Structure 1
Amino acid sequence: MQRPAPLEPLEGLWSQEAGLDDSAVAQRRARYGPNAILAERPTGWLEILRSTVKDPMIWFLVGTALLFLWLGDYTEAAVLAVALIPIAGMDVYLHRRTEASTEGLRARLASRARVVRNGVEREIQAADLVPGDLVIVPAGAYFPADGLILAGHALQADESTLTGEALPVRKLPLAAPPKGAADRLIDGVHWGMAGTRLLTGEARLRVALTGGDTYYGEIARLSSTTRSERTPLQAAITDLVRILLVIALVLCAALAVIRYVQGYGLVDAILSAVTLAIAALPEEFPVVFSFFLGLGVFRLAKLHALVRRAVVVENIGRVTCICTDKTGTLTEGRLLLSEVVPAGARDRAEVLAIGATASRAETADPLDEILLASGAAWDGAVEAVYPFTEDRLREVCVLRDPEGGWRVAMKGAPEMVLSLSDLAPEAREVWLHRTQTLAGSGHKVIAVAARRLAAWTGDEPEEGFDFAGLLAFSDPVRDGVAEAVAEAQGAGIRVIMITGDHARTAEAIAGELGIGGAAPRVVEGAALERRLGQPGPRFDFDVVARCTPAQKLALVEALRAEGELVAVTGDGVNDAPALRGADVGIAMGERGTRSAREVAAIVLLDDNFATLVRAVAEGRQLFTNLRLSFAYLLMLHAPLVATAALIPLMGYPLLYLPIHIVWIELIIHPTAMLVFQDLPSRHALTPGGERRLRFFSPAEWARIGLVGAVATAVILGGFVFNLGDDLDVPHARSMAMATLVIASAAMAAALTRLGTRAALLATVLPVVSAIAVIQIAPVAELFHLRPLHGIDWLLAAGGGALVSLSAAVLRRETGHRDP
């Protein structure tokens, strides 16, 4: 993985073995700040207490316990007070679990570092490092910041924290410092990264990036702060919670009035209303969603897709169209000389010599660098150079021949070079045809020509050249991109390649990758601009060639207006408008400019289209897991609220007492937050992608309602049947609670398919708790229950099996329909 090195903090320090002096350290600390890779967060008991008291269940228990205390029912008050322990304990655990990724990252950071300052090696706090420091990293130690390796032998590092790759990575010293913008991209083999550990050897590291500027720091910062961002789905969830809350309050008020009218007294009426309110309170939905959002940021980061705005975690899985750059994303972004076609009696070496002579090392042009490395330029003193421009389409070099006279070398666009050459019209047509053939196979083609001058006037020669041949260059397609394109298109995602290249070159690359099938449809930017302003079919193409930034933005806006959810890749300042205008703007981390990265929602650290497709697949899986978690909450809340309201309204004694709600909440919270997020990713796209932002289709809502209705009927029937004529409330309540708990386990089993250890525990432990609470007589008495007979458990298990069967139908639909 290549990364750009900052030039300013490293300037003049490459061979400085004495390290920084105290004044330089002070100046740099004032400018760059401390090496606080991970900002300190309040994690003490006061912060945990502040988080815990936000849970409405805590206040419900306190208030209800005080009510029983006022009534003189000290046993019930004590039971509720003891119930505070597991509820508070669960809140503490979930609070710590939410911060687990940040804390896990902190454990990988070096706390101290060996640094050379004022010519003396000393040990300091890692937070005191500044860019430019010379650090010595021994075997077994963590790199304290991001830096370039100056020296070291047989170096290997563990980078699994950043890449997920368990195998050691070889590290090599960088031979020379970066000298300019063209040298800024440094291969990952020369970097020592904060949070990674040196396994073998001893490395001398020149610190380049500290604090939040390190790759590790950016991931850690995003994973710990993203959860607080408000997103469209959070707004939708807030509306849902508000509606459910209003309904719950109306039901509670109605229940309190009815119970009081029925003659159960004021205390029973208040207790009924409060219990129903807590059962109906939908606080889990925003909490679970926020938890999944932070999890998505971290999972995508492990795929080399660094999320800069949380909303993209929602959108990435719903993408329906990807507008992708060609160079560096679909291809490797580097030119290779693939063919030399000499003209006439010239040979390969002569053609390359002319191309090298017409090239200049100081331009840092990749094509010039290849030609200078491939051929031996002519001897002689350069008298004049006429550089390549967009209007000239050629570069001409005039040099004095050691043997007398002048020699002229020219390279440039084939049509321009041929027009300045002494070729017959028929021969010119032949060479233009060869040029088109090479361009049609995905090559960048230039032509070269030369001539001699007996005398030179000082002006650029513009005629009489002897055509020497063609040079064809190619940008190899990245490994795995063709498969990624096929996967995306197979999943219903439209892929459009946008490039500034010639149409034939773009068509050849698209055909090789399978974009649009075997015969991709190509439109040039100017034609696209006219088409977007006209009625009728506007998007019957797969490739846009010769495309300007304004045209790219216009295309993105038109696609979004048609209802597509568009992801756009880009790397330059000129791509910033399209990146900002897309639903998901994706900047290139290796080649991307700062402007592109700042407006993008995601930064691809390896610039690879295959990484983008993996990120979409991960986004879809994450959203699927979230939907399954919400389905579980809805399916379980429906019978809980329905039976809590219906049974008292029917004139029967209360089914749920506060202690029962505590028990159920201890099952719901960890299952919804911890079990479904842990479901394994398929790492593959499946057909899906919806333009509308919704959790469930109408048919899925109907299925959720069906599961809730089945569970309600089973619980309600079990309670009423076992109540009998003698109103055996403890026995009936035990039967209803056993059925509800088993139904909860059945729902979790059906929705997760027991795919993980957590899913298995979420299925088994609630049933074990039900057996323990109901069958152990002293415990059952505290819970106002009575031990059940074997036939009762069989009936409860049968009810759970019926619920599980209904939920399995929903899982088959929901689990395979991606967002």
Structure 2
Amino acid sequence: MRRVDCHSGQAIGFFGHPLRNLRTGKHDLQRKAPLERLEGLWTEFEGIDDTGVSARRAKYGPNTIVAETSSSWLEIARSTVQDPMIWFLVGTAALFLWLGDYTEAVVLAAALIPIVGMDAYLHRRTQASTEGLRARLASHARVIRGGQEHDIPSTALVPGDLVIVPAGAYFPADGLILSGSALQADESTLTGEALPVRKNPIACPPAGPWEATIDGEHWGMAGTRLLTGEARVRIALTGSETLYGEIARLSSTTRAERTPLQEAIAQLVRILLVAALLLCAILAVIRYVQGYGVVDALLSAVTLAIAALPEEFPVVFSFFLGLGVYRLAKQQALVRRAVVVENIGRVSCICTDKTGTLTEGRLLLDHVVPAAGLSREDVLTLGATASRTETEDPLDLLLLKNARPLAGQVEAVFPFTEDRLREVSVMRVADSAWRVAMKGAPESVLSMTGLSEREREAWLHRTQDLAATGHKVIAVAARSLQSWSGAEPETSYDFAGLLAFSDPVRPGVADAVKEAQQAGIRVIMITGDHSRTAAAIAKEIGIGAAEPRVIDGAQLAEHLQLHKGAEVGFDVVARCTPSQKLALVEALREKGELVAVTGDGVNDAPALRGADVGIAMGERGTRSAREVASIVLLDDNFTTIVRAIAEGRQLFTNLRLSFAYLLMLHAPLVATAALIPLLGYPLLYLPIHIVWIELIIHPTAMLVFQNLPSRDALARSNRRQRLRFFSPAEWAKIGIVGAIAIAIIMGGYVYNLGTEFDVPHARSMAMAALITASGAMTAALTRLGSRPAVIASVLPVISAFVIIQIEPIAAVLHLSPLHFIDWAIALLGGGIISAGAAFSRREGAEP
């Protein structure tokens, strides 16, 4: 049995509680509907006329959910001309052409084909999330306008349009379902849940002039598909305002942002580039002095330059940032600033609100404790009288649902504030009589009554007993006035009783808290509740030790001052104000913690802005909170925060492994490209060999490491994540692996030169060792955890064997076939390098 609450627009179950998804037990995704756009359209089934459509299109713009990109060929050309490898090939090919070496010029020109092909492939992969999003959008929509049905492009829809969505079709924008039966939708794109979700029409228009929060069961979302039934949907949000559009926009624009780590990488690239150019100039001079001629000197310098150019680092990092935005969105966490992709995985402390994040944010009235001479109904009536009728406060709404206010004219309301901790309503009940009703924190209300000290202590003791069982307790009092000056009455109230409410803990929160704490992430609960209530909820969830350490907000400032520089020794802050919350965040950051903070109101904005990762609530959060936060939770669930941290840590781990691979492989490539010519030996690498190596490095660094599966990302992480990318010990281990590779490659080259200077044979040995080293590093760092990892570890070695052993191909590349013993030595060297890389990963390459 079900009905719809016409005041909230929310589906209500048989017992009066909001309905949940019958499969998951969780509330469906709620959204805020802009009611001013839909005013006058709730019962209008003829649709908007042409004039209205034009006015709305001018105001809200087209329904472009995923922005169209420019021609893919133009994009590929633009990214290709920015690749320094292209100019290197063109320049060296032109040089050989000028020298009359047409064979070498043709080989280098042919090498442009795989380079351009790889650029095209990587360009498509970096835009894969946006293209994938566009594939799930409706291209056309059936709309009713002026009483007639029309098939129009979905981009022509405007807010207020009435759309018919048949079974099997995608919703063309975000709208409210007005009619339809037996509706089910596939929302896996937005929620990750594969099973169908029930949809129901909204029976009554929501009340309010601006916006209302409406359950997800009444929404049809862009990018989701209607599986059964036929729905009529009133479009509310179009274009980038849709949830789908916001994900697409964030995925496509985040890469342009500059983050601290990105700036550090750019600085590193600049330093390496200057060093490489200086080394190239020195090498060119030395080769010329050694008597190798101008061409050799120039070729050696240019080859070293392109080998030393560290362009992969910023490209890989930007790719991972965009990937992080998309993956966190799949975890119900919308990233608003790219820096959070760096920070979320290193969070060491979460300061979380209780209501709606750890709990369901759904108050239940459990106990009414009336004072002597009063009934349960009397206390509820006074509580309702002290509540505002035009409010979204869940406590006021619950009291008004359980009782009617006193009859009369409300003359004034003195609202609840953080310093007053009470709300007072003054009501005229007769010509010369007023009734004053007050509700609020028991300690505040009791202090304004005429009770004796002993009676107050008794009531406070009952308050503590109720709070100790996890209840939110408020007190109610009232008084009568024969005259009223207009000021708030502050004394002589008659105590009426206590009201105890519960807010159920969200399913899965206790497990998420346990997982976070086992990973070394500290969880501090911040609430406006009584300390006993907060302690009981924290104990139920498992925050802190067996008995959570609780501090009152009023004592927080003094505590932080007295224990400045020491560890924060509490798990819960009760009766906490926004300024106290900000002070706590600042104190934690001063102690080296990387802090994530949750918030939903305007008063939470300072703490959200002051945190390393500000997390706003998407369902119940205010616009001010969402604007200053770096992440918006779509489901307001603490479990989502822990999942996002795990995803961030795995992404950061994969990024570090990718950088470790680049460093381990670049070290022998650059060192051998420089040292061998400097020592007077013939050039090891020709331009075509650098092309060959780059064709291995780029796809491995960008595509293999990002695809590594999660292996308990939280469980293996340290409590405090270093802000530096690698520690000195990790740099040392990376250097050792690189040094081993240098020794093997140089030793193989010099030894195989022999007395007769067999350069092709020696070069083949060095190339075989280098490519085998690349495969060994990939295998060790990825642990062969995915199919791309296996391919990137094995395929380059196979390609090297084929190219080197087939004599006509080898001759074109200035190589010669190797003997069995040569390959055995190369594979043995790869095994040694693999063992070193595996040791580096196990001991320190992971966060």
Q: Normalised by the size of structure 1, how large is the TM-score? A: 0.93
Distance 1:92 1:413, change over 3 A: closer
Distance 1:442 1:388, change over 3 A: farther
* CA shift digits 1:610-659 (9 cap, x unpaired): 11121111111111100000000010111111111122222221111111
Contact 1:618 1:683 in 2 (8 A): no
Q: Structure 1: how far apart are the matches of 2:248 and 2:193?
A: 18
Q: Which residues in structure 2 correspond to 1:232-271 (within 5 Å)?
A: 232-271=260-299
Contact 1:138 1:203 in 2 (8 A): yes
Counterpart pick for 2:841 among 793, 797, 811: 811
Q: Structure 2: how far apart are the matches of 1:790 and 1:772?
A: 14
Unaligned residue ranges in structure 1 (runs of 5+):
none
Q: Secondary structure at the match of 1:592?
A: coil
Moved more, 245-254 or 345-354: 345-354
What amino acid maps onto 1:678 in structure 2? N
Counterpart pick for 2:503 among 475, 479, 494: 475
Distance 1:56 1:383, change over 3 A: closer
**Which residue in the other structure is 2:185 paired with?**
157
* CA shift digits 1:362-381 (9 cap, x unpaired): 45542343234445x59x95
Counterpart pick for 2:791 among 761, 768, 773: 761
**Does residue 277 of structure 1 match 2:300?**
no
Q: 1:431 Cα deviation (Å)?
A: 3.2
Counterpart pick for 1:123 among 135, 151, 156: 151
**Does residue 698 of structure 1 match 2:728?**
yes
**Which residue in the other structure is 2:170 paired with?**
142
Q: Structure 2: how far apart are the matches of 1:744 and 1:672?
A: 11
Distance 1:59 1:322, change over 3 A: same
Q: Secondary structure at the match of 1:5?
A: strand
**Which residue in the other structure is 1:548 paired with?**
577
Q: 1:690 Cα deviation (Å)?
A: 4.4
Distance 1:623 1:655, change over 3 A: same
Q: Structure 1: how far apart are the matches of 2:243 and 2:400?
A: 36
Q: Which residues in structure 2 correspond to 1:723-802 (within 5 Å)?
A: 723-802=753-832
Q: Structure 2: how far apart are the matches of 1:408 and 1:807?
A: 75
What amino acid maps onto 2:292 in structure 1? Y
**Which residue in the other structure is 1:110 paired with?**
138
Q: Structure 2: how far apart are the matches of 1:570 and 1:463?
A: 35
Q: 1:151 Cα deviation (Å)?
A: 0.7
Contact 2:352 2:525 in 1 (8 A): yes
**Which residue in the other structure is 1:639 paired with?**
668
**Which residue in the other structure is 1:64 paired with?**
92
Q: Structure 1: how far apart are the matches of 2:333 and 2:452?
A: 55
Contact 2:531 2:574 in 1 (8 A): yes
**Which residue in the other structure is 2:636 paired with?**
607
Q: 1:213 Cα deviation (Å)?
A: 0.6
Contact 1:382 1:397 in 2 (8 A): no
Distance 1:264 1:500, change over 3 A: same
Q: Structure 2: how far apart are the matches of 1:581 and 1:330?
A: 22
Q: Structure 2: how far apart are the matches of 1:626 and 1:473?
A: 47
Q: Secondary structure at the match of 1:26?
A: helix
Q: Structure 2: how far apart are the matches of 1:793 and 1:17?
A: 77
**Which residue in the other structure is 1:501 paired with?**
529
Q: Secondary structure at the match of 1:784?
A: coil
Q: 1:441 Cα deviation (Å)?
A: 2.7
**Which residue in the other structure is 1:570 paired with?**
599
**Which residue in the other structure is 1:198 paired with?**
226
Q: Secondary structure at the match of 1:267?
A: helix
Q: Secondary structure at the match of 1:787?
A: coil
Q: Percent identity?
A: 74
Q: Structure 2: how far apart are the matches of 1:343 and 1:535?
A: 43
* CA shift digits 1:724-761 (9 cap, x unpaired): 22222111111111111111001000000000011011
Q: Structure 2: how far apart are the matches of 1:701 and 1:462?
A: 67
Superposed CA RMSD = 2.8
Contact 1:627 1:814 in 2 (8 A): no
Q: 1:519 Cα deviation (Å)?
A: 2.5
**Does residue 96 of structure 1 match 2:135?**
no
Q: 1:438 Cα deviation (Å)?
A: 0.8
Distance 1:461 1:532, change over 3 A: closer
Q: Structure 2: how far apart are the matches of 1:142 and 1:697?
A: 49
* CA shift digits 1:163-193 (9 cap, x unpaired): 2211111111111122127971111111111
Distance 1:675 1:408, change over 3 A: closer
**Which residue in the other structure is 2:620 paired with?**
591
**Which residue in the other structure is 2:65 paired with?**
37
**Which residue in the other structure is 1:662 paired with?**
691
Q: 1:545 Cα deviation (Å)?
A: 2.5
What amino acid maps onto 1:323 in structure 2? C
Distance 1:283 1:426, change over 3 A: closer
Counterpart pick for 2:330 among 302, 305, 310: 302
Distance 1:465 1:523, change over 3 A: closer
Q: 1:458 Cα deviation (Å)?
A: 6.9
Distance 1:422 1:51, change over 3 A: closer
Q: Secondary structure at the match of 2:547?
A: coil
Q: Secondary structure at the match of 2:842?
A: helix
Q: Structure 2: how far apart are the matches of 1:457 and 1:614?
A: 59
Task: Name the count of aligned residue pairs.
Answer: 809
What amino acid maps onto 1:83 in structure 2? A
Q: Which residues in structure 2 correspond to 1:103-502 (within 5 Å)?
A: 103-180=131-208, 184-341=212-369, 352=380, 361-374=389-402, 377=404, 381-382=407-408, 387=413, 389-390=415-416, 393=422, 413-414=441-442, 429-447=457-475, 457=482, 469-502=497-530
**Which residue in the other structure is 1:625 paired with?**
654
Q: 1:585 Cα deviation (Å)?
A: 1.4
Q: Structure 2: how far apart are the matches of 1:122 and 1:162?
A: 28
Q: Structure 2: how far apart are the matches of 1:336 and 1:657?
A: 76
Contact 1:182 1:364 in 2 (8 A): no
